[in-house]
Amino acid sequence: MASPNIGVKEHSHGGDVPISRLDTHGSFDVDAFPVPSGREEEWRFTPLRRMRGLHDGRDAVGGAVKVETRAPEEVAVETVARDDARLGTSFLPSDRVSALAYSAFTEATVVTVPKEVQVSEPVYVKITGVEEGDAYGHVLVRAESHSSTTLVLEYGGSSTYSDNVEFVVEDGAQLTVISLQDWDRDAVQVSHQYAKVGRDARFKSFMITLGGDLVRISPSVRYVGRGGDAELHGLYFTGEGQHHEHRSLIDHNVSNTRSRVEYKGALSGEDAHAVWIGDVIIGEGTQGTDSYEHNRNLVLTDGTRVDSVPNLEIFTGEVEGAGHASASGRLDDIHLFYLQSRGIPTDEARRLVIRGYFAELIGRIELPDLRERIMDEVEEKLALHE
Amino acid sequence: MTKFEIRGLRADVLIGAEQREEILKGVDLTIDSGETHAIMGPNGSGKSTLAYAVAGHPRYEVTDGEILIDGENVLEMSVDERARAGLFLAMQYPVEVPGVSMSNFLRSSVTAVRGEAPKLRTFSKELQSTMKGLAIDSSFASRGVNEGFSGGEKKRHEILQLELLKPKIAILDETDSGLDVDALKVVSEGINRAKTETDVGVMLITHYSRILNYVKADYVHVFAGGRVAESGGPELANALESEGYERFVKAGA
Ligand SMILES: Nc1ncnc2c1ncn2[C@@H]1O[C@H](COP(=O)(O)OP(=O)(O)OP(=O)(O)O)[C@@H](O)[C@H]1O
Ligand SMILES: [Mg+2]
């Protein structure tokens, strides 16, 4: 496992502005980013050969996805052309893949939750691969001020897919997103999710990655007002030969903001590879930041690989709390012993303990159907290696 | 009628990859249904090791001797098979299993030991009344197994499992330690209910004779230096209480 990087920079007074090692500049210009070679810090864990050209833009476009939506009537869902003025205003692509996806999509889905509306039913956006070849998409979700919504963003089928998802959480709004990567086994996805969190706004993300051959998702959070709160929960079950990579970036560029990142994974089978990179920046001149990030990995068989790297960069002395933890390990044989000593057979004991490991995280998802479905899929994957 | 026999049992604690230490140095003990054997002995003498060796704990390894339940070789059974064969261990330090709810755990365990799933309604009635008998609040059923329980709460839940699983032979490792007088009474009543209802044979490991005021022992064994150093009737417990273990520790050294 890689070791954590923690930088506490000197507070500077005039002169040089401290520069983060974490590259947070961005551009819509694809050529502003060189084609990754795989040696770069941001790419060194990703098997580029399996990205099918999503990073260099060489492969022919020609694939297609189908986008289905369902929403209660108080929510506006539109399909718009790429020149819609609302698109691309909340973020700058942070790498070449993101810029490429933004240059290549043809239609975008825009979800708008009007001001002060408390949406009772979840909004569903389902993206399904329907034709071979690469496909690009774009989603913008705007939770207007003091609204409250839950959105389920689901990916399925087979595709080579890249998109940018913008979450704009305006002042006082609450947005909960469950992003479910439930691809067929051969799919490739590289996505960026950019959240912009307003004053006293709450953004909650559940990133559930189960499917695909290679899934690399970079969720980022940036605050535009005090009192913003972001919780990023992640769950992945990485099976034989799968590559699941999650790279979160929380930029505490405003005072009095809070973030929690908690990603939990399990790995099972030969060449299962999980990567978690947790970048947190606590910006210069900010005060009262409260941040904590945590990654845990449960290693169920031999032959798996985990790379777990928290990066915490602090540019101010006025931090309320900042911490991180990362741990990978096997199932605890003493837990299993206890259950077995009560007559429970090994397989069932393992299932109970693994269920227990994920239960708390899944339990926070407020949609019972989805909870059941996720747990069932986890158990299905579990059964493959028993 | 069950006969449980431990013969010439030697066992090591596995400390590291290369490191082990012999703790049990030839234990002989026979327990029949309905009998209660108190095992008393100084700290570190190997009482818990004996209990864990019988249950099949992964950190201990039996190197010699045998354990039989009605003539069946316990050492050849997996941990769960031992439980299904009628052995039960109430642990000195019950394990916390995060995220697994107590009710789920109990249902799985009762199903495994009884060989069929109990009807949901009957089981939940049985669970509720057994919990009530041990003064356990019903809210515990939805909590994680032993998760954040106090020492005394953990011990009550071990006895709850004893009552639900109805084993033939129960090893109770310091179930009395850390209990206040009221809790000790409640727990002792639980043990006594199990004794009268199922005729369970009990190995009661304890430091103090106070539990023997509530749970009557037929035999008392002094455990020292990894073996049974002396056996006698209930009067031996009182002698130990006043004289301590000194004489045995010296003899064992
Ligand atoms: N992991 C370990 N490493 C080293 N020694 C160990 C380990 N586990 C147990 N032992 C040793 O084994 C011996 C027997 O321990 P055991 O727990 O069986 O004693 P006990 O009689 O139950 O004591 P107590 O009355 O304190 O519960 C002790 O000397 C203990 O230190
Ligand atoms: Mg002990």
SS (H, E, C) B131-143: HHHCCCCHHHHHC
Q: How far apart are CA B155 and CA A197, in angstroms?
A: 48
Considering only CB atoms, which chain B residues are within 8 Å of A358? Answer: 99
List chain B residues with pLDDT less than 70: 250-253
> For ligand 1, atom 25, which residue shows the shortest CA distance?
B43
C-alpha to C-alpha distance for B21 and B12, rounded to whole angstroms: 5
**What span, in angstroms and rounded, lies between the C-alpha atoms of B193 and B115?**
23
* Contacts (Cβ under 8 Å, ≥6 apart) of B87: B4, B54, B55, B69, B74, B167, B168, B169, B170, B171
Residues spanned by the domain of B46: 3-98+169-252
Helix (H, G, I), strand (E, B) or coil at A336: helix
Q: Nearest residue on chain B to A338, judged by CA atoms? A: B95
- Asked if A330 reaches chain B (Cβ–Cβ under 8 Å), the answer is no
Residue B152 lies in a domain: no
Domain for residue B44, yes or no? yes
Helix (H, G, I), strand (E, B) or coil at A374: helix
**Is residue B132 one of the residues assigned to a domain?**
no
- pLDDT for res A24: 59
> Could you tell me if the CB of B46 is within 6 A of ligand 1?
yes
Query: What is the strand order of the sheet A123-131 is part of?
Result: A64-70, A123-131, A148-157, A174-181, A202-209, A229-238, A258-267, A289-299, A319-329
Query: Residue B210 falls within a domain, yes or no?
Result: yes
Q: Is position B248 within any domain?
A: yes
Among the partner residues B82, B97, B104, nearest to A338 by beta-carbon distance: B97
**Residues of chain B contacting residue A357, judged by C-beta atoms under 8 Å apart:** 98-99
Q: What is the pLDDT of residue A383?
A: 81
**pLDDT, tens digit, 9 for 90 and up, residues B169-222:** 999 999 999 899 999 999 999 999 999 999 999 999 998 889 999 999 999 999
Q: Can you spell out the DSSP letters for chain B?
A: --EEEEEEEEEEEE-SSS-EEEEEEEEEEEEETT-EEEEE--TTSSHHHHHHHHHT-TTEEEEEEEEEETTEEGGGS-HHHHHHTTEEEE-SSPPPEEEEEHHHHHHHHHHHHHSSPPPHHHHHHHHHHHHHHTT--GGGGGSEETTT--HHHHHHHHHHHHHHH--SEEEEESTTTT--HHHHHHHHHHHHHHHHHH--EEEEEES-GGGGGTS--SEEEEEETTEEEEEE-THHHHHHHHH-SHHHHHHH-
Give A105's Cβ-side CA count (13 Å radius).
30
Report yes or no: B144 and A356 within 8 Å, Cβ to Cβ: yes
CA distance A325 to B42: 40
Residues with Cβ within 8 Å of B182's Cβ and at least 6 positions away in sequence, in order, are none
- DSSP letter, residue A284: T
CB A55 within 8 A of CB A93: no
First to last CA, chain B: 38
Backbone conformation region of residue A6, classed left if phi is above 0, alpha if psi is from -120 to 50, else beta: beta
What CA–CA distance (Å, rounded) separates A136 from A1? 33
Amino acid at A45: F
Supply the pLDDT for residue A210.
97
CB contact under 8 A, B108 and A344: yes
- pTM across the whole model: 0.86
B201 found inside a domain: yes
Residues 356-385 of A with CB under 8 A from B: 356-360
Would you say the CB of residue B44 lies under 6 angstroms from ligand 1?
A: yes
Q: Is A13 on the interface with B (CB under 8 A)?
A: no
Cα angle value A27/A30/A35 (rounded, 5°)? 115
Query: Residue A66 corresponds to which amino acid?
Result: K
pLDDT in tens, chain A (386 residues): 444 454 444 333 333 444 455 555 789 999 999 999 999 999 999 999 999 989 887 666 688 999 999 999 999 999 999 999 999 999 999 999 999 999 999 999 999 999 999 999 999 999 999 988 899 999 999 999 999 999 999 999 999 999 999 999 999 999 999 999 999 999 999 999 999 999 999 999 999 999 999 999 999 999 999 999 999 999 999 999 999 999 999 999 999 999 999 999 999 999 999 999 999 999 999 999 999 999 999 999 999 999 999 999 998 888 888 899 999 999 999 999 999 999 999 999 999 999 999 998 999 999 999 999 999 999 888 887 66
CA distance A221 to B78: 50
Domain count, chain B: 1
Evaluate the CA torsion angle A274, A368, B141, B152 in order and state its sign.
positive
Q: d(Cα A54, Cα A33) in Å, to the nearest integer? A: 13
Helix%, strand%, coil% for chain A, nearest 5? 15, 45, 40
Choose one of B10, B49, B245 to mutate for the ligand 1 pocket test, by most ligand atoms within 8 angstroms of C-beta: B49
CATH code assigned at B89: 3.40.50.300
> Which residue blocks in A11-170 are alpha helix, DSSP H?
96-104
Distance CA A198, CA A225 (A): 5
